[in-house]
Structure 1
Amino acid sequence: MTTAPSRPTTRHSTAAAPADPHRWPDVAAVPGTSWPVRATTAAVLRNALRRLPLRVRFADGTTLGLGGPLIEVHDPKAFHARIGAGGLIGFGESYMAGEWDAPDLVGALTVLAAHAADLVPAPLQRLRRLWAVRQPAAQRNTPDGARDNISRHYDLSNDLFTLFLDDTLTYSAAVFRGFPAQWPLLAAAQRRKIDRLLDLAGVQEGTRLLEIGTGWGELALRAALRGAHVTSLTLSQEQRALALRRVREAGVADRVRIELCDYREARGSYDAVISVEMIEAVGAEFWPVYFRTLDERLAPGGRVALQAITMPHARMLAARDTHTWIQKYVFPGGLIPSTEAVEQTVREHTGLTVTARDALGAHYAETLRLWRQRFTERRDEVAALGFDAVFRRLWTFYLAYSEAGFRSGYLDVQQYLLTKEGSER
């Protein structure tokens, strides 16, 4: 629910360092809301929390829930004001401000993710278009908008990503042999995932491969070591610089081109196309263009290997026009598709066929757990790079929130094989 806010009041959380109002304006200031809005928000929340397998303890000692992971609300007034004004965005900002915490953050968020469809009463769900914050037009994934959106996340700092990723610098779901996994096994699990995709796409000696979304170069590098000729596209200058260095150091620079290029600007014909967790940055408006690009760049008889995070179709439809905390602070312009949306777009806008699909959600939960633990262990090194306490809480919340999504089944990740009729290679 929203209201016309009164003048926001700046506060300093007792649970975290004060937020810089220039860098974090919506964290440093609690939105002004009327008493009726705060009271209504509190009543709606308390009614929902009473039915969840959680323990939510407020500063006055009141505890709600059926038992389970603990959430401690240090500043109920600010907590309710933020949620009343901004919904789930306010919930995340309240964590960033240190107004609530959880000893087992993933456990608490997993419960909330599992009950996401039930948290808002049905009458309010039906009025979602009236109270939900809309996506800002500036975050549309036009060619210029996509460059800005990608830069805001992937150009933060190569050094930052190096601190919590494994030696492959792979920023997508790994594939493990068993659970639970340990940190030393993550690099092998990432290479296993990459080799699985290369096999799915039929990449071998002489294959002309187009990669849409370079990351930091591990897939292009491994494809080149198979003897493939790789063209890899990225919009991140930081990623491209480091990927080029890694390719040179591996001695395969003669077989890999890494271009600062939007997927819509790709040219040429390729035997195989691979795109790993790139579609989440495309936006629903441009899904038809993205899949047509895969089709147009793929030679007859070619194969596409696609790795994509997915969410339930009904939740995707509810969220597709809504501005979310993840979009505001982590992935501007992003939207996770459903399997139905992927397959419908392929069917209606391309000549490709969805030949195979494999779900690997449990592997992503484990990948995120290892990243989150590594990020936490190296928080002092993150601080030394110039990232303040609010940023560190933001990223802790982001990694835990994502892990909870996969553990609850709210999110999944798929590996698709798309094929194109024509002469065999």
Structure 2
Amino acid sequence: MTVPVVPAPVRTDRVDAARWPDVAALPKASRLRTAAAERIVRHAVRSLPLRLRLAGRSRPLGLGGPLLDVHDPEAFFRRIGAGGLIGFGESYMAGEWDAPDLVAALTVLAGNAGTLVPPRLQRLRAAWAPKQPARHRNTADATRANISHHYDLSNELFALFLDETLTYSSALFRGFPAEAALLPAAQRRKIDRLLDLAEVGEGTRLLEIGTGWGELALRAAARGARVVTVTLSAEQQRLAQRRLREAGLADRATVLLRDYRKVAGVYDAVVSVEMIEAVGAEFWPEYFATLDRLLVPGGRAALQAITMPHERMLASRDTHTWIQKYIFPGGQIPSVEAVEQSTGATALRTTRRDGFGAHYAETLRLWRECFTERAEQVGELGFDETFRRMWTFYLAYSEAGFRSGYLDVQQIRLTKGETA
């Protein structure tokens, strides 16, 4: 059994205010909003299998279960009152609360996401929830900055917690619990299954949207496919090109720094792994129209996509979230229904769909444990303590989403001109 590791609390007076302005300083929030936040939290926790311990209070709140330990209740409720879930995440970054088992505590919250806020306030969400900044819209001009924010952090950072394949998406395991030593094989199994869904083989003209660090392009080229792969991350392009050269496959695969909307040509197959989440709901119809334009009649698209329940997607799609602010600007997780609606005006039809969310939870656990074990090396790369708490929260928050069933991950095959 793995013993959870709790990152050391950050002293707010040590937070780099230039890098983390909204963590270093408490937000402006009226007494009314702070009091309302406390009342909502208390009311929610009262019926949850969770313990909320507030410093200076003798008894924890809740029905029992994982502990959420609040060191500074005034700051905690003030941040939530001002920013909702963004404030909840920033409070963790500031070291104002901790949890001995962070994933377990967040899993309880994720599993009850639809009921944490009273229904009458949910109906007024548009009035109190933060709105997504206009600058994060995934237009052709803005998308590169959104992608760069995350993927151009440092190839060395990602190499510290990913496996040797440098694959940054859900693996596909043979069984649980997953072991770190088996992660490379599980990642290659996932990639091979996608390539099989798209019927990629000798001579296939393959387009990959979202290169990552090149593992899928490598495996497709090794099958004899002629690969064009596009990314908006200069860091990823550089490393993917190097890996292809070192494998002797550079003549079969071209890595372009290009927006998917600007790709030309015709292809027998398109593969895209967890890229649709970065497209933005506004642009999903354009994304699928692009796949339709690029595929030959009878062509196949094999996608791997994180999904969420449709009603939760509708409720949150206009809200600015902690993940969007700090991790993936402009991101939006689709529902299965949203994918079907977005392909409706194209000749693309779903001919297979398989979910494997439990595998993502295990993938994230392995990444998080590796990141925690190598926290000192992360620091040596220039990433401060606040960043390390942010990244720990991000990985745990994501893992909790899959463990609770709030999130799923799907492999979807779309065929041009066929029905299921």
Which interval holds the TM-score relative to the shorter structure?
over 0.9
Q: Paired residue for 1:419?
A: 415
Shift of 1:344: 1.2
Corresponding position of 1:123: 120
- The TM-score normalised by the length of structure 1 is 0.95
> Hey, what does 2:307 align to over in structure 1?
310
Instruction: Find runs of 4+ consecutive structure 1 residues off by over 3 angstroms.
Output: 13-17
2:48 and 2:133 map into 1 onto residues whose CA distance is 33
Determine which of 140, 145, 169 is the counterpart of 2:142.
Answer: 145
* Partner in structure 1 of residue 353 of structure 2: 357
Task: For 1:298 and 1:78, locate their aligned partners in 2 and report how far apart those are by CA, in whole Å.
Answer: 53
2:118 paired with 1:87: no
Distance 2:10 2:292 in 1: 54
User: Structure 1 residues 73 and 41, CA, compared in 2 at 3 Å: closer, same or farther?
Assistant: same
Q: Contact 1:17–1:389 (CA<8 Å) still a contact in 2?
A: no
Write the distance in 2 (CA, Å) between the matches of 1:183 and 1:38.
43
Q: Which amino acid is the alignment partner of residue 276 of structure 2? A: I
What CA distance in whole angstroms lies between the structure 2 residues aligned with 1:99 and 1:197?
43
SS of match in other structure, 1:31? coil
Displacement of 1:19 in angstroms is 1.0
Aligned residue type for 2:384: D
Aligned positions of 1:90-109 closer than 5 A: 90-109=87-106
Please point out which of 43, 46, 52 is paired with 1:47.
43
Question: What SS does structure 2 have at the residue aligned with 1:253?
Answer: coil
TM-superposed CA distance for 1:45, in Å, is 1.0
Deviation at 1:156, TM superposition (A): 0.3
Matched-pair contact (CA < 8 Å) for 1:27–1:97: yes
Instruction: Give 1:37 deviation, angstroms.
Output: 2.3
Q: Tell me, which stretches of 5 or more residues in structure 2 are unaligned?
A: 1-8
| Superposition deviation, residue 376 in structure 1 | 0.3
Q: Residue 184 of structure 1 corresponds to which residue in structure 2?
A: 181
CA distance in 2, matches of 1:43, 1:195: 50
- Cα deviation digits, residues 173-223 of structure 1 (max 9, x gap): 000000001100000000000000000000000100000000000000000
Query: Quick one: distance in 1 between partners of 2:68 and 2:11?
Result: 14
2:133 is aligned to 136
- 1:57 corresponding residue in structure 2: 53
Structure 1 residue 280 corresponds to structure 2 residue 273:
no
1:274-306 per-position Cα deviation (integer Å, ceiling 9, x unaligned): 000000000011001100111110011211100
Return the offset for 1:421. Answer: 2.8
Q: What is the correspondence of 1:245-394 to structure 2 with a 5 Å cutoff?
A: 245-347=242-344, 349-394=345-390
Q: C-alpha separation between the residues in 2 aligned to 1:14 and 1:405?
A: 25
The structural deviation recorded for 1:270 is: 0.5
Query: Counterpart of 2:165?
Result: 168
User: Retained in 2: the 8 A contact 1:304–1:419?
Assistant: yes
Q: Partner of 2:208 in structure 1? A: 211
Shift of 1:40: 1.9
Given that 2:10 and 2:385 are in contact with CA atoms closer than 8 Å, whether structure 1 keeps it comes out as: no
Whole-angstrom CA distance in 1 between matches of 2:206 and 2:328: 27
**Residue 36 of structure 1: CA displacement?**
2.5
Whether contact under 8 Å (2:12, 2:23) holds in the other structure is: no
Give the alignment's TM-score, normalised by structure 2: 0.96
Deviates further, 31-40 or 203-212 = 31-40
Query: Which of residues 10, 14, 19 is equivalent to 2:15?
Result: 19
Give the secondary structure class of the aligned counterpart of 2:186.
Answer: helix
Which amino acid counterpart does residue 371 of structure 1 have in structure 2?
W
User: Structure 1 pair 319/200, CA: closer, same or farther in 2 (3 Å)?
Assistant: same
Equivalent position amino acid for 2:84 in 1: G
Bigger Cα displacement from structure 2, 26-35 vs 320-329: 26-35
Q: Which moved more, 1:56-65 or 1:314-323?
A: 56-65
The residue identity in structure 2 corresponding to 1:133 is: P
Q: Does the aligned pair in 2 maintain the 1:16–1:389 contact within 8 Å?
A: no
Q: Percent identity?
A: 70
Q: In structure 2, what residue type is equivalent to 1:99?
A: E
Contact 2:12 2:24 in 1 (8 A): no
Query: What is the CA distance between 1:16 and its match in structure 2?
Result: 6.5
The aligned counterpart of 1:224 is 221
Inter-partner Cα distance in structure 1 for 2:295 and 2:30: 57
2:294 partner amino acid: R
CA offsets 1:237-268 (integer angstroms, 9 cap, x no match): 00000000000000000000000000000100
Pairing 1:155–2:152 present = yes
3-state DSSP class of the match of 1:64?
coil
Contact 1:48 1:119 in 2 (8 A): yes
Q: Pick one of 399, 403, 418 that aligns with 1:403.
A: 399
CA distance in 2, matches of 1:173, 1:34: 42
Contact 2:10 2:93 (C-alpha < 8 Å) held by counterparts: no
* 2:109 paired residue among 109, 112, 126: 112
Cα contact 1:233–1:258 (8 A) shared by 2: yes
RMSD: 1.0
Equivalent-residue separation in structure 2 for 1:102 and 1:145 (angstroms): 36
1:6 matched residue in structure 2:
none
Deviation at 1:14, TM superposition (A): 6.6
Corresponding residue SS for 1:206: coil
Q: CA deviation at 1:131?
A: 0.3
- Following TM superposition, by how much is the alpha carbon of 1:18 offset from its aligned partner in structure 2, in angstroms? 2.0
